[in-house]
Each structure stands twice: as C-alpha cells, then as structure tokens.
C-alpha cells in the first residue's frame, strides 16, 4: 500500500521525475508544477535513489525506463509496497519492453504524452481530482 499523498498532510504532492533527457525532464516538471505539484528532477536511477533516501517525502515516482546505468524499472523495483506510487514512461514500443512494464505491475504513460495525459495519470494515481 502506498503512503498517503503529502496533500493529505496539507502540502502539495511531490513527484520525483526520473528522466535523462533534459528537455523532456524540464517539460514534465513544468507541466507538473503548473498542475499544482512539487516536481523534483533526477537524471538517473542512482540520483533518484539518493533523493528517495532523504527525509523529503516523495508521493510518486515518474520514471523513464531507459536511463544511464540502472533502468527505471530496476529503480522502482527497489521501492517496495509502502513506497511512493509509480508511473512509468517510455518511447520504446517493443514487445520486450511492454512485457517488462506489464511484469512490473506499474501503469505506463507512453511517450509522447500531452500535459493533460500526464496530469490525468498522476491525479488518478494520487487520488487527486483535476
């Protein structure tokens, strides 16, 4: 079970955006901030893991699959059932990638996505109304 969103504690929900493509990361963070979320960027699974170890509560991890070093799926596999909600993204369309995402049990937001697609997916996972 996921921890309650920080919005239930009076703060804006915090989204960790794990994306190595800087323009895509900046776009996602901009969309999320305009949607009322706090967005923290990470450029790799290793950087994201360090952020997750801090006392700063993360409500949702929005991660690309293809990252330098460990993959996004490897990162989210370490989170456990009490960890933050997870939303996976990728532009990869292969059957192998689809099978890996399906096996992870986490929802997928395919690239390219729109601002409304991202906000709807995040809102659904956090139980936040648009």
Q: How many domains does the chain have?
A: 1
| Digit-coded pLDDT (tens) for 90-128 | 999 899 988 999 999 999 999 999 999 999 999 999 997
Q: E-assigned strands of the chain?
A: 14-18, 38-42, 60-64, 85-90, 108-110
Residue 64 in contact with residue 74, Cβ under 8 Å? Answer: no
Domain that holds residue 103: 6-126
- Judge whether 92 lies within some domain: yes
| The pair of three-digit structure tokens given for residue 10, joined into one six-digit string | 């009076």
CATH number for the domain spanning 30: value is 3.40.50.2300
Model pLDDT for residues 18-40, shown as the tens digit of each residue? 999 999 999 999 999 999 999 99
- Domain-located, residue 1: no
């Amino acid at each position: 079970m996921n921890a309650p969103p920080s919005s239930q504690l009076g703060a804006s929900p915090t989204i960790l955006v794990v994306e190595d493509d800087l323009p895509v990361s900046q776009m996602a963070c901009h969309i999320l901030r305009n949607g009322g979320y706090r967005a923290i960027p990470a450029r790799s699974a290793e950087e994201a893991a360090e952020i997750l170890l801090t006392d700063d509560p993360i409500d949702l991890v929005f991660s690309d699959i293809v990252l330098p070093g460990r993959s996004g799926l490897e990162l989210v596999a370490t989170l456990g059932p009490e960890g933050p909600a997870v939303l996976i993204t990728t532009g990869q369309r292969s059957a192998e990638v689809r099978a890996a995402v399906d096996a992870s049990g986490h929802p997928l937001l395919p690239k390219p996505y729109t601002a409304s697609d991202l906000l709807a997916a995040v809102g659904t996972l956090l139980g936040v109304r648009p």
